[in-house]
Amino acid sequence: MEESFLLNNKISSMLSMVSLLLGSIPVGFLGALTGLGGASILIPILVSMGIPVKEAIACGMASIIATSSGSAVSYVRERIANVRVAMFLEMFTTVGAIVGATITTMISPLFLYFFFAAFLASSFLKSRGTVSQSATSSEWPDGVSRWLNLQGSYFDEAHGKRIDYKVSHPLLGGGGMLLAGLAAGMLGIGAGAFKVTVQENILKLPPKVSSTTSNFIIGMTALAGTSVYLYSGFLNLTLMGPMAVGTTIGAFLGGRVLNKLGNRTLRVLFSLIVIFLIVQMIYKGVRSL
Amino acid sequence: MISSDRNLSESKLSLAISYLLTAGVVTSLILMAVGILLFYFQFGNLAISEKKVMFLQEKNFFYFLYDLLKGGNSQEKSLWIMTLGITVLILTPFARVILSVVYFFLEKDFKFSLITLWVLLILTLSLATH
């Protein structure tokens, strides 16, 4: 809290609730297109405009509840997202998020700049959507998975057929989700790319199921993180309101055009944005050393 | 055909969740937008403020909720409405867990009743006792 008051006069005069709301729309749009999520992009920008990093993280976390829940709606209704698998994984992500957010409230802001930059860098490691879609097998890959009946099927419009799948290594995947939740809670972001990596490589979910299920889980994870920030007093009404409204509108629009853009365009866009954000955070971190 | 029964009833859950999420998110965003508008009429500006009254802080969310619905300690209408918007946002995934617990319990799916109950417990503890 003291930090907020000290930095009071450092907030850029360009930043107001109107500019934040309007600016959050393209950010939410890009966040949805690149899979980074609005908060990952907005937090470094806010920090560079003088908003204390913990405040930006707390408000990012709260606004994610809206973006994630809003965009999950159609995937849940069309039953592409697997609600059962999501609820299993939420057991792990919520605990991770509470621990992560608690760490953030206690450590020096200096660490957060570098953690944020490092986590953004790790999104380059994301698996290149391995096409090796394992053929429908009737064998259960795992005892826990069978016991909980973790399987599903969805209709893939691109392939024009129903795709069945079974979840493998749910407990190992749960461990990965604990880490994803930890990073999400600490940095106030959805950590969607990380979740998708775990779900595709360990749980062997088909890519579409993976990205939509991850989106669904992020809302619950963000709530867990937000509960900690509510207690710690980092939630600023004048920041959170415009951020939530703007990024959600942007994400909604982004979801509409997602399928119309080429993969190559997206990859270039993604790389440019991530590099820019990493540089931004490191610069801020080094300057405050 | 147990599996197709399950499929049918699970599509009910999916549908109920999607209505709940839509209602929660839309209500909360409208409240926040109205709050911002009222803020402008009340204060004559829309600056990002670092004043203490702009920060939410509460030890116990449920007590905070009760206080808020009573009219709250916030004197300013615009801040009250923005706070209400955020509260609705927080309650949306929370209500989703409660809905799931009830659903799995009624379906006599006790494994998933326990799984969702665990998530509910974690969230309730974190909101109430932090």
A241 phi/psi in degrees, rounded to 5: -55, -60
Q: What is the DSSP letter of B49?
A: -
Bridging pattern class, strands A161-166 and A151-156:
antiparallel
Q: Would A131 be classed as within a structural domain?
A: no
pLDDT at A129: 47
Min Cα separation A271/chain B (Å) = 31
pLDDT at A219: 92
Nearest to B14 among A77, A235, A236 (CB): A77
pLDDT digits (tens, 9 = 90+) for A168-222: 999 999 999 999 999 999 999 998 888 988 998 899 998 888 888 998 999 999 9
* Pairwise CB contact (< 8 Å): B21 & A230: no
**B88 inside 8 A of chain A by CB:** no
pLDDT at A5: 42
Nearest to A244 among B29, B55, B94 (CB): B29
For the ranges A31-40, A256-265, A275-284, the lowest mean pLDDT is seen at A256-265
A13 vs B34 pLDDT, higher one: B34
What ipTM describes this predicted complex?
0.89
**A-chain residues near B3 (CB < 8 A):** none
B63 phi/psi in degrees, rounded to 5: -70, -40
Nearest to A16 among B35, B46, B61 (CB): B46
Whole-angstrom distance, CA of residue A195 vs CA of residue A93: 10
Q: Would A108 be classed as within a structural domain?
A: yes
Whole-angstrom distance, CA of residue A150 vs CA of residue B56: 39
Q: What is the DSSP letter of A138?
A: S
Whole-angstrom distance, CA of residue B62 vs CA of residue B40: 29
pLDDT at B6: 60
Q: Would A158 be classed as within a structural domain?
A: yes
Task: State the pLDDT confidence band at A72, using cuts at 50, 70 and 90.
Answer: confident
Domain count, chain B: 1
Tell me the three state secondary structure of residue A52: coil
**A56 inside 8 A of chain B by CB:** no
pLDDT digits (tens, 9 = 90+) for A48-67: 998 999 999 999 999 999 99
Whole-angstrom distance, CA of residue A57 vs CA of residue A72: 22
Largest CA distance in chain B: 64
B125 phi/psi in degrees, rounded to 5: -60, -45
H-state helical runs in chain B? 2-43, 61-69, 77-106, 110-129
Q: Would A253 be classed as within a structural domain?
A: yes
Is residue B11 within 8 Å of residue B103, measured between CB atoms?
no
Return the number of CB contacts < 8 Å for A and B: 175
A256-260 average pLDDT score: 71
**B54 inside 8 A of chain A by CB:** yes
- Chain B interface mutation, best of A64, A230, A240, A243, highest count of B Cβ atoms under 10 Å: A230
Q: Would A63 be classed as within a structural domain?
A: yes
Q: What is the DSSP letter of A169?
A: -
**A99 inside 8 A of chain B by CB:** no
H-state helical runs in chain A? 2-6, 17-34, 38-48, 53-77, 83-106, 109-122, 143-147, 170-187, 192-201, 207-232, 237-257, 263-287
pLDDT at B7: 65
Record the tokens describing residue A165, joined without a space: 């799948």
Place of tokens 């009743």: B113
Nearest to A223 among B55, B56, B123 (CB): B123
Q: B9: which residues sit within 8 A by CB, 6+ positions away?
A: B107
Whole-angstrom distance, CA of residue B18 vs CA of residue B34: 24
* Pairwise CB contact (< 8 Å): A17 & B48: yes
Is residue B77 within 8 Å of residue B42, measured between CB atoms?
yes
Min Cα separation B11/chain A (Å) = 7
Q: What is the DSSP letter of A141?
A: S
Surface of B (5-34) touching A: CB under 8 A: 10-11, 13-15, 17-18, 21-22, 24-25, 28-29, 32-33
Nearest CA in chain A to B111: A148
Angle at which helix A53-77 crosses helix A170-187, to 10 degrees, equals 140
Is residue B46 within 8 Å of residue B71, measured between CB atoms?
no
Domain that holds residue A10: 2-126+136-287
Record the tokens describing residue A75, joined without a space: 């995937």
Domain count, chain A: 1
Place of tokens 């055009």: A257
Domain that holds residue B124: 2-129
Nearest to A87 among B90, B119, B127 (CB): B119
